[in-house]
Chains A and B, each alone.
Chain A
Amino acid sequence: MKRYTIFVITENFIGILNRITIIFTRRGINIDALTASESRVDGIHRITIEVTTSEEMVIQLVNQIEKVIDVIKAFYHEDEGVVYQEIALYKIPVTRLDGGLEKIIRQHNAKIIAAEPQFVVLELTGHKEQTQELLEILKGYGLLEFARSGRVAVAKRMVTIDDFIK
């Protein structure tokens, strides 16, 4: 079992995400995180899926994803093959804002992105381990809400979408 990032380059059609996720459902594989966005090419979307499974399974998944008619290309990498980030938001009550918290924010390179009369929102971008570490600390500061994005990633390999739509 290992962590893999699957990249899917698709046409921007209704239902495409559904078509892809049912492949995971059929095989009983849990999706750890998923993000979808437009690519730099008009009309082409990219979906990034994080899974923990065996390499054998990830190959079968990728083959079956690529078989979906509106999928242009699917491929996978181990963590070493990708540059990736996740973003996390933390909502803290203003009453807990003190010198100690300020120090923590600075140490973790987090940012205050919103300050309201009752709460502040911190943002941290990084790998899951980093956002998780800050989460554990902030639980001691009356954390009100926490949200973390899926992985956004680019492959280290030197290929571009243009290579796939030639």
Chain B
Amino acid sequence: MKESMIRGADIVVQSLIAEQAEIIFGYPGGAIMPVYDALYDYHEQIKHVLTRHEQGAIHAAQGYARVSGKVGVCLATSGPGATNLITGLADAQIDSTPLVCITGQVAAHLLGTDAFQETDVVGISMPGTKWNIQVRRVEDIAPAIAKGFYIARSGRPGPVLIDITKNAQVDFGEMNYTPCLGFRSYKVHLPVEKTSIQKAAELINQSERPYVLYGQGVVLGKAETELKFFLDKTGIPAASTLLGSGALSQDHPCFVGKLGMHGNYAPNILTNQCDVLIAVGMRFDDRVTGDLKRYAKQAKVIHLELDPSEINKNVKADVPVLGDCKESLSMLTEAVEKKSHPDWLAKFRELEELEKEAVMQHDISPTKTGLTMGEVINQINQYKADDAVLVTDVGQHQMIAWRYFNYKKPHTQITSGGLGTMGFALPAALGAQLYDYSRQVICVLGDGGIQMTIQELGTIMQTKAPVKIVLLNNNYLGMVRQWQQMFFDKRYSFTELDNPDFIKIAEAYGIKAQRIKSREGLTEAIEDMLIYDGSYFLEVMVEKEDNVFPMIATGCSVEEVRLS
């Protein structure tokens, strides 16, 4: 054996360092122990955070990736360690989050024999990863990690899983790391075609009622400035998807609100009145479009998109503009005429007034005694930093927080969009906070979701991550209850929760905690929380049976959005 040879486990860690990974979220176990042993030697070069469950590790890696724009890294053992990553992988896949997850695997000679903690994680994770691979030989470790990082972060980002057998971790091999710069079967994206830009520009120039819908693609493509310049020049009203929020400051004069099932009134209704629809980095999710047969049929559709398989998937594009939207947006800005659309924009503002009267008044300045989720978020807006990150779970609180949070900067919206994973918020907030201790990270969640990953309070305690946790407690699985009320004759089947004393739980983890039951003291509590130096747990008891509106019920058209 040559002296320059090192163990496979060292190659794993050195490869991660070579990819400039700063932090690993993980949980040890038998089949990954050699890598954990190696980590002991590298603690000055790379940080490891021990979560309390592998699902916590992967959601934390997602939170880290979403706030930083970097690849999140996650480490787990074979068998149950690996299967506990699956929800996070599926979540990252549908929300295009770059991750590299490394799992240990039983030794190669035991594969297929039902060995202890053996599971076919490559098979199980295949549909939920952008790419995955099993590495059985030490010499294949570094190339697999290099390729994994390249695939995770390039093109449309996504999660990668690398399963490494134990023998490969303990065998000795050479470490000469070569970053992956591409390979023949993988086209990152197509170059933007000038002809498609010209066609799009013609449509936009002739349009009287153009309308921009922007999604997370703008953030992933780092095209926020290009979007702003495009809107500055064209004056086109622009609405955001759930994950697109933050790509454009809500203070921008063209910003008209949010799209979809619980988005704003005007942006939904007017989708069916525009003459040209310009979709940027969004995929026409069913929660955005409602009934596709009655979605924007009157409009010519221009679709700026990186992923060719998204073109015509849900909505037929008259002018598809394939490629990186950072490039295509600036080319399009060049090609279009300077314009403004005051009358068309005024239509949005008119309808916004209706929503203010019918919904926002109740949500933000309620006259009833019970606290609403909306007024909590509205109070947070008054005191939060401009670049405060909002991390939410899934359900009523998620929709309300999204509706009322004032997004000003990119990478401030972290939520489980496509998959709708309850339990996402607490670990994701931890991951986001660990990227930058000085950034305000506000984790808003419900009493259902928090209990799915509540064990991560332990990781928050151990890392001293100063996450601000806002629990909006209505003692219900609120969104399901709302549907039961509206569509299932108020048959509240298994949605009411008998909850523990959350304050005692938070305090048991050494986290400063406070409970608010009435309007007096809310403002002060939020102010206290946001200036507090350290993690903080604020429980707000909210109205038990409040509903989220506007709403486009399943199967309805965007123009059938209800205010009550």
The one of B134, B309, B312 that contacts A67, using a Cβ cutoff of 8 Å: B309
Knowing A22-B127, A72-B185 are in contact, say whether A15-B122 is a contact too (CB < 8 A): yes
B160's closest neighbor in chain A, by CB? Answer: A69
Knowing A15-B126, A18-B126, A72-B185 are in contact, say whether A67-B131 is a contact too (CB < 8 A): no
- Chain B 99-142 interface mask (CB, 8 Å, partner A; 1/0): 00000000000000000000000110011001100100000000
Interface-forming stretch among A57-65, A101-109, A124-132, A140-148?
A: A57-65
A26 proximal to B (CB < 8 A): yes
B134's closest neighbor in chain A, by CB? Answer: A14
Q: Is the CB of B126 within 8 A of A69?
A: no
Complex Cα gap A15–B134 (Å) = 10
Complex Cα gap A165–B131 (Å) = 20
Chain B residues 273-328 with CB under 8 Å of chain A are: 307-309, 311-313
Complex Cα gap A59–B317 (Å) = 14
Knowing A18-B123, A19-B126, A67-B307 are in contact, say whether A60-B313 is a contact too (CB < 8 A): yes
Interface SS, A side: helix
A5 proximal to B (CB < 8 A): no
Chain A residues 67-106 with CB under 8 Å of chain B are: 67, 69-72
Knowing A22-B127, A26-B127 are in contact, say whether A63-B185 is a contact too (CB < 8 A): no
B310's closest neighbor in chain A, by CB? Answer: A63
Give every chain B residue within 8 A of A165 (Cβ-Cβ). 184
Give every chain A residue within 8 A of B313 (Cβ-Cβ). 60, 63
A56's closest neighbor in chain B, by CB? Answer: B312
Complex Cα gap A64–B122 (Å) = 19
Give every chain B residue within 8 A of A71 (Cβ-Cβ). 185
Q: Is the CB of A63 within 8 A of B126?
A: no
Q: Is the CB of A64 within 8 A of B309?
A: yes
Give every chain A residue within 8 A of B309 (Cβ-Cβ). 60, 63-64, 66-67
B186 proximal to A (CB < 8 A): yes
A63's closest neighbor in chain B, by CB? Answer: B309
Give every chain A residue within 8 A of B308 (Cβ-Cβ). 63, 66-67
Q: How large is the interface on B (under 10, 10 to 19, 20 to 34, 35 or more residues)?
A: 10 to 19
Give, as a whole number of angstroms, the nearest-CB distance from B504 to chain A: 45
Give every chain A residue within 8 A of B529 (Cβ-Cβ). none
B151 proximal to A (CB < 8 A): yes
Complex Cα gap A60–B308 (Å) = 10
Give every chain B residue within 8 A of A48 (Cβ-Cβ). none
The one of B122, B123, B130, B307 that contacts A69, using a Cβ cutoff of 8 Å: B130
B316's closest neighbor in chain A, by CB? Answer: A56
Give every chain B residue within 8 A of A63 (Cβ-Cβ). 308-309, 311, 313
Give, as a whole number of angstroms, the nearest-CB distance from A39 to chain B: 13
Give, as a whole number of angstroms, the nearest-CB distance from B57 to chain A: 24
A69's closest neighbor in chain B, by CB? Answer: B131
Give, as a whole number of angstroms, the nearest-CB distance from A60 to chain B: 7
A18's closest neighbor in chain B, by CB? Answer: B126
Q: Is the CB of A59 within 8 A of B186?
A: no
Complex Cα gap A18–B130 (Å) = 14
Complex Cα gap A70–B129 (Å) = 13
Complex Cα gap A77–B10 (Å) = 49
Give every chain A residue within 8 A of B185 (Cβ-Cβ). 10-11, 69-72
The one of B126, B184, B186 that contacts A22, using a Cβ cutoff of 8 Å: B126
A70's closest neighbor in chain B, by CB? Answer: B185
Complex Cα gap A18–B134 (Å) = 14
Complex Cα gap A67–B156 (Å) = 10
Complex Cα gap A29–B3 (Å) = 55
Binding site for A on B (CB under 8 A): 122-123, 126-127, 130-131, 134, 151, 184-186, 307-309, 311-313
3 shortest interchain CB distances as A-B pairs: A63-B309, A69-B131, A72-B185
Give 20 new A-B contacts, CB below 8 A, not counting A26-B127, A70-B131, A165-B184.
Answer: A10-B185, A11-B185, A15-B122, A15-B123, A18-B126, A22-B126, A60-B309, A60-B313, A63-B309, A64-B309, A66-B308, A66-B309, A67-B307, A67-B308, A69-B130, A69-B151, A69-B186, A70-B185, A70-B186, A72-B184
